[in-house]
Amino acid sequence: MKKLISFFAAFLVCAGAVSALAAENISVYIDGNRLNTARAPYIESDRTMVPMRAIFESLGCSVDWDEAAQSVTSKKGGMVMIMSIDSKVMYVDGGAVELDVPPRLVSDTTFVPLRAVSEALDCDVTWSGDTNSVYIVTSAQSEIFMYPEFDSVPDFGQIVGITPNPVLDDGKIYCYENVTPKETEKYARVMESRGFDAFDAGEYVIYSKDNISVLAGFRGGIFRIVITNY
């Protein structure tokens, strides 16, 4: 993956000036679904900052803001996370976690570091510099079925809720009926979140990783997944 080259801008935060790197058109995907936010994410010190309420609620957490203390308490199940504006210490179940970048208050919106929050919730986080995108895979989605013999390739059928028909005898070609472009786009996001590089080969998109090639595309109205070794 290529490293993001950020566009530079300055943000005034709280009482002091905080230097922040603003990246244009940053997209955040959670389990293949794009996170919609009223305020755009930005980059500060190589860390993606996102609006607090949007990311917490999208990851299934409650959000309680304490205006006097300028802090947020978020809960999910038995987990409790506490963060404060401009503090580099985050508390997860009472334990202190040091942050590279603290939460910021920007134009009345609280931004929190995306990776720190997501990983505290046992999510996998991947950055794509090619598309200015962050891909988050929650712990529930991390258990997605992989194809037999290819344990690093997520199953298209399980991701979009379609059963392959038929699975050919060699176990490497999977056919799916009634597949929509939206479902193939979701598969592309999941594949990229799992570290696959994508190449447009016309009829197929080729996903490549760890000496495995996955060809995915339509032929004769049927969506096919072909998995091969290099």
Residues 96-134: tens digit of each pLDDT: 999 999 999 998 899 999 999 999 998 888 887 777 888
pLDDT at 53: 93
d(CA 119, CA 64): 20
Q: Are 29 and 134 in contact (CB under 8 A)?
A: yes
pLDDT at 169: 55
Q: Where in the chain is the domain with CATH 3.30.310?
A: 144-229
d(CA 134, CA 154): 18
How far CA 106 is from CA of 16, 48, 68, 92, in Å, comes to 11, 14, 17, 24
Beta-carbon-side half-sphere exposure of residue 112 (alpha carbons within 13 Å)? 27
Supply 211's token pair: 């000496």
Q: What percent of the chain has pLDDT over 70?
A: 83
* Confidence category of residue 205, pLDDT binned at 50, 70, 90: very high
pLDDT at 138: 82
At residue 120, the 3 state secondary structure works out as: helix
Provide the mean pLDDT of the chain. Answer: 82
CATH code of domain 144-229: 3.30.310
d(CA 15, CA 187): 44
Supply 226's token pair: 């072909």
d(CA 143, CA 228): 22
Rounded to an integer, the average pLDDT of 126-147 is 77
Quick: pLDDT tens for 19-62: 333 445 898 988 778 899 989 999 999 999 999 999 999 999 99
Residue bearing tokens 């401009």: 86
d(CA 143, CA 101): 30
pLDDT at 168: 64
Quick: pLDDT tens for 152-176: 888 888 888 877 665 665 557 888 8
pLDDT at 115: 93
